[in-house]
């Protein structure tokens, strides 16, 4: 397993921001967070406010959900198209790509399917995209748990937004007014075991290199490994972001990069095969078929209000540094990106 020392992603004790002993300490941690997002686009946060037990429970629930028979999972199918992003998507349904909008190119990319299944849930009070839940009799408590995780993660999200604002030198509460609607999305992901050779040959993928669409993503990953982040100094070179028990990996999405006039970096990442252990090998017709272990991960994608127009963040433009982008709403931006994923 690669070690965190090989990773460009810094580790920050966010407890020192949340429970700072002085305004100076709070500011110092905020500046570290901002610096990580300005340079790498990714950070590990420990003591982030989501209790480790809640994260452990989340993986338990994810396993329980994906272990259900397909017919149960198909009782809350993801609607056709990419915009209404709720419910269950089976293996190979979604293909994550990076800014590819051409139909022929998309069809070509889809020949190497992402070997994953997922379940997506948003806010229970979202009038636009109501949640799609499995039958409560098949998995009692699942819905309540997802709502609890969603609500807890939202608090951490806003603290991270406060840290970014403070670190940038703008009003700490600047982002609050843009996040009153809770348009966030919780995603449970399961990558089943897959032949390592198919992953290496590019015939199958777990998740190909991409950046996220929203403002920030807060990812919990299990002990499997395989997540890689593009090296900030070497485009095209990916470095491991191995699991740290209890830590969240937080990264900037494309929308916040745009909002910040590209000051904050939305960095490419992907999930490759972790180094397989001998015990994962299985004999198939005399040949050794190396299977990767399964992976579970739980990204929490954060977005700004759909209808609030955003313009370049204060401090990110000046007479000599012009604004690169037109004002846009998060709704317009995300819809444009989601429509090509399905």
Ligand X SMILES: O=C(O)CCC(=O)C(=O)O
Closer residue to ligand X in complex, CB, 248/313: 248
CA angle 42, 233, 206 (to 5 degrees): 55
- Shortest distance (Å) from residue 249 CB to ligand X: 8
Token pair for residue 314? Answer: 């204060």
Residue at shortest CB range from ligand X: 297
Residue 219: name its binding partner from ligand X, Fe ion, none (Cβ under 5 to 8 Å by kind). ligand X
Residue 89: name its binding partner from ligand X, Fe ion, none (Cβ under 5 to 8 Å by kind). none
- In whole angstroms, what is the distance from residue 307 CA to residue 312 CA? 16
- Report the residue from 221, 260, 261, 266 that binds ligand X according to the rule CB under 6 A: 221
295-301 and 216-221 strand pairing: antiparallel
- Order of strands across the sheet that contains 295-301: 11-13, 42-46, 248-252, 216-221, 295-301, 185-191, 117-121, 87-89
268 belongs to the binding site for ligand X (CB under 6 A): no
Residues in touch with Fe ion (CB under 5 A): 212
- Report the residue from 207, 209, 216, 229 that binds ligand X according to the rule CB under 6 A: 207
Residue 227: name its binding partner from ligand X, Fe ion, none (Cβ under 5 to 8 Å by kind). ligand X
Residue 273: name its binding partner from ligand X, Fe ion, none (Cβ under 5 to 8 Å by kind). none
- Shortest distance (Å) from residue 297 CB to ligand X: 3
271 belongs to the binding site for ligand X (CB under 6 A): yes
Burial class of residue 216 (count of CB atoms within 10 Å of its CB; 0-12, 13-18, 19+): buried
- Report the residue from 269, 272, 290, 337 that binds ligand X according to the rule CB under 6 A: 269
- How many residues bind to ligand X according to rule CB under 6 A? 10
219 belongs to the binding site for ligand X (CB under 6 A): yes
Task: Kindly identify the residues of this chain, within the stretch 222-241, that bind ligand X according to CB under 6 A.
Answer: 227
- In whole angstroms, what is the distance from residue 14 CA to residue 7 CA? 19
Residue 297: name its binding partner from ligand X, Fe ion, none (Cβ under 5 to 8 Å by kind). ligand X
Closer residue to ligand X in complex, CB, 17/296: 296
For 258, residues 6+ apart whose C-beta sits below 8 A from its C-beta are: 325, 328, 333
- In whole angstroms, what is the distance from residue 306 CA to residue 122 CA? 13
Here's the x/- map for ligand X, 176-195, by CB under 6 A: it reads as: -------------x------
- In whole angstroms, what is the distance from residue 34 CA to residue 302 CA? 17
Burial class of residue 241 (count of CB atoms within 10 Å of its CB; 0-12, 13-18, 19+): buried
- Shortest distance (Å) from residue 321 CB to ligand X: 30
Task: Kindly identify the residues of this chain, within the stretch 292-331, that bind ligand X according to CB under 6 A.
Answer: 297, 299
CA angle 324, 325, 328 (to 5 degrees): 165
Residues that bind ligand X (CB under 6 A): 189, 207, 212, 219, 221, 227, 269, 271, 297, 299
């Amino acid at each position: 397993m690669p070690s965190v020392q090989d990773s460009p992603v810094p580790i920050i004790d966010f407890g020192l921001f949340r429970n700072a002993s002085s305004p100076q300490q709070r500011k110092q941690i905020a500046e570290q967070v901002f610096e990580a997002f300005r340079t790498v686009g990714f950070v590990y946060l420990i003591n982030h406010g989501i209790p480790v037990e809640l994260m452990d429970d989340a993986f338990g629930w994810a396993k329980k959900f994906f272990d259900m028979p397909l017919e149960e999972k198909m009782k809350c199918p993801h609607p056709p198209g990419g915009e209404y992003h709720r419910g269950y998507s089976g293996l190979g349904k979604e293909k994550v790509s990076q800014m590819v909008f051409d139909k022929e190119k998309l069809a070509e990319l889809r020949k190497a399917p992402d070997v994953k299944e997922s379940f997506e849930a948003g806010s229970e009070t979202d009038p636009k995209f109501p949640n799609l839940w499995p039958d409560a009799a098949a998995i009692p408590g699942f819905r309540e748990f997802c709502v609890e995780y969603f609500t807890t993660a939202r608090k951490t999200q806003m603290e991270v937004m406060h840290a970014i604002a403070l670190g940038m030198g703008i009003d700490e509460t600047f982002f609050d007014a843009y996040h009153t609607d809770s348009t966030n999305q919780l995603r449970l992901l399961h990558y089943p075991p897959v032949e390592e050779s198919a992953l290496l040959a590019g015939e199958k993928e777990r998740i190909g290199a991409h950046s996220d669409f929203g403002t920030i993503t807060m990812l919990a990953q299990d002990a499997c490994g395989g997540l890689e982040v593009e090296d900030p100094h070497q485009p095209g070179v990916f470095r491991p972001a191995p699991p740290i028990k209890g830590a969240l990996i937080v990264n900037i999405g494309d929308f916040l990069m745009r909002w910040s006039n590209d000051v904050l970096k939305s960095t490419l990442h992907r999930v490759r095969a972790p180094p397989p252990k001998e015990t994962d090998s299985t004999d198939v017709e005399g040949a050794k078929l190396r299977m990767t272990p399964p992976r579970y991960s739980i990204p929490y994608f954060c977005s700004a209000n759909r209808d609030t127009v955003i313009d370049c963040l204060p401090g990110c433009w000046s007479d000599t540094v012009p604004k690169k982008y037109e004002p846009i709403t998060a709704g317009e931006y995300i819809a444009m990106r989601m429509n090509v994923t399905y």
